[in-house]
Each structure stands twice: as C-alpha cells, then as structure tokens.
Amino acid sequence: MNKTELIAEIAKKAGLSKKDAEAALKATTETIAATIAKKGGKVQLVGFGTFETKKRPARVARNPQTGKEMKVAAKTVPVFKAGKALKDKVAK
C-alpha cells in the first residue's frame, strides 16, 4: 500500500473526503516526526506501537568492494517497536 492508497482507505473508513484524510495523515506524521526529533521524544500508541529514537555508537565498518576499513560516526536513528496487539494481529 502506498500513500495514495492509504489516504483513500482512511477516507473510506473515517467517512472523510480524501483531502481531509490527507491533511489528517500529514498532521499525524509531522507531529510524530517533530516529537521524536526532540531529545528523549517518544510517541506511544497503545495497542499499535511506539515511535522513538535510538543512538547508534560509532563503529568500524568494512567496504565490501575493497575490504578497506572505514569509520562510521555515531548517529541517532528513528525506530518503531510494534505493540502486542499489532503483533498478535499480524501473527494471525
């Protein structure tokens, strides 16, 4: 499912126009992104999952083509952890 199909499905299930569904989806994703971008920011949707950030430490990696070692800097990345209800629904 792509973004357009998701918007159409949201509009159908919520009884909204596609324009309103798109605005709601955009507001949701922007709010989640802005919240987790803050230090220690976390968005928890009970039954669905948790959006947060995780720090990855610096490490030494290897270029697969040349075999040469290279340093990879530490960075913060977004992560999603599925909730129990979502895991159970997918497992069915």
Q: What pLDDT, on a 0 to 100 scale, did the predictor assign at position 59?
A: 96
Count Cα atoms within 13 angstroms, Cβ side, for 19. Answer: 0
Q: What pLDDT, on a 0 to 100 scale, did the predictor assign at position 37?
A: 92
Superfamily of domain 39-92: IHF-like DNA-binding proteins (4.10.520.10)
Q: What pLDDT, on a 0 to 100 scale, did the predictor assign at position 40?
A: 80
3-state secondary structure of 41: coil
The tens digit of pLDDT for each residue in 45-83 reads 999 999 999 999 999 999 999 999 999 999 999 999 999
The tens digit of pLDDT for each residue in 14-51 reads 999 999 999 999 999 999 999 999 888 999 999 999 99
Domain ranges of the chain: 1-37, 39-92
Q: Is the pLDDT of residue 84 over 90?
A: yes
User: Where are any strands of DSSP class E within 1-92?
Assistant: 42-45, 49-56, 59-62, 69-72, 75-82
Q: What pLDDT, on a 0 to 100 scale, did the predictor assign at position 39?
A: 83
